[in-house]
Structures are given as C-alpha cells and as structure tokens.
Amino acid sequence: MGIIDKLNKDFESRVRLGIMSILMVNDWVDFTEMKTLLFITDGNLASHSTALEKAEYIEVKKEFVGKKPKTSYRVTNKGRAAFNEHLNSLEKLIKSNN
C-alpha cells in the first residue's frame, strides 16, 4: 500500500476536488457561481457538497437575499489541512512514479 492509502477518499471525485480547489482560493462562494464554475447540475453539487459538509471540510451558510434563499460555501480549517495533505500525497505519488 504505502503512499496510496494516504490519498483522501473524500476527494476521489472530480466534483469534490473542484469544490475544494475553488474554496481554497476564494472566501464564501455561492451555489449558483459554484455550479457555473464546475459545469454541473444542482443535484450533483448538492450531493457532493453535503458529503464534504458531513466530513466537516466545508461549512454551509443559508440565508435569504430578499425573498430568494441563497446558499454559500466556505472551506473549514480542517478541510484546508486535509486538502493540502491530499495535494502533497498526489505530488509524492507522481514523483515516485516518474
């Protein structure tokens, strides 16, 4: 096994990687913008963001702007650390294979 098992299972999907990457370089990002940046459907984003929220990697804020509900996401400290670690293992993996 070695390094392989260090790769975080929560980040296996491209959508989750995308959500994390976007949140690493931005503060609060709302649902609509996240969806357009990733080219995914509402349902897809909702299910992946819920999974990341359960892992406590992101926090979700729900508020009303006028009468419209607005959902925004932000990365937590735990999520930031986990994602950085994931990046490091990815990098190591690629280096060791080359």
Tokens standing for residue 9: 């299972």
In the bound complex, what is the minimum distance in angstroms from residue 41's beta carbon to another protein? 15
Q: Which of 41, 50, 96, 90 is nearest to 73 (CA)?
A: 50
In the bound complex, what is the minimum distance in angstroms from residue 77's beta carbon to another protein? 18
Residue list 28-87, contact with another protein (CB under 8 A): 29, 33, 36-39, 87
Q: Is 9 in the site for another protein (CB under 8 A)?
A: no
Q: Is 98 in the site for another protein (CB under 8 A)?
A: yes
Q: Is 1 in the site for another protein (CB under 8 A)?
A: no
The C-alpha atoms of residue 93 and residue 54 are separated, in whole angstroms, by 27
